[in-house]
Amino acid sequence: MKRFVLICTLLVIFLLNGMAMAVPKKFLFPGSEYKPPCDTSKTTICTIEIWLANKHKKQKREIKKFLKSKSLKVLGHTVQYWRPKGGHPPTNIAIGSAVSAKDARFAIDFALKYNDRIDLLVLRPLNPPNYVAIATSAWDELSQIPITQDDLTQLRDPKLTTEEFHSLYYELTNEANVQNKFY
């Protein structure tokens, strides 16, 4: 009997290890009182801010045209460029809690194409729900959580629903256990 209980316990631990536990929706999405600042029938990204390496400055028109083709509102300051001798832009991404999984994957793919890599996720509560920032320097070290390439691969999985995507983002940033509630 002891062996049976031990085997069952080990089996349960094995099955649950690495599997995402369900996160209550109240921690994942904005409340019912939230009204998006844009028409979300075409895209759930209402505001996008992008910092790119100076080497992409010659592609500015092409990049803005591409973003507009995705129904994103592109302002004059939407895409900004790092100083020529300022090094590499930050390798982070911020994705708001009301951005769909499809739009979030688009933002991640865009960041990988134009900013080479993503090493950090910005905590979701710091950003408006329909907001994305790529390579932002607006947040300090406490608000950026390192991720691995395996974590990024999981976030890019096209099978993830919006709820699964945000649940995974929530877990990867360990938002439930943030010690300094500075927001």
pLDDT digits (tens, 9 = 90+) for 56-86: 889 988 998 998 888 887 777 788 888 767 7
pLDDT of residue 153: 97
pLDDT of residue 5: 44
pLDDT digits (tens, 9 = 90+) for 117-157: 999 999 988 889 999 999 988 888 889 999 999 999 999 99
Predicted model pTM: 0.81
C-alpha pair distances (Å), 40 with each of 2, 163, 176: 56, 17, 28
133 Cβ contact list (under 8 Å, min separation 6): 48, 49, 50, 92, 93, 94, 122, 127
What is the pLDDT confidence band of residue 107, given thresholds at 50, 70 and 90?
very high
pLDDT of residue 8: 43
pLDDT digits (tens, 9 = 90+) for 152-177: 999 999 999 999 999 999 999 988 77
> If we measure between CA atoms, which residue out of 32, 98, 97, 102 comes closest to residue 70?
102
> If we measure between CA atoms, which residue out of 70, 57, 140, 142 comes closest to residue 107?
70
pLDDT of residue 27: 65
Higher local confidence (pLDDT), 182 or 167: 167
pLDDT at 183 over 50: no
Q: Which two tokens stand for residue 105?
A: 């994957």
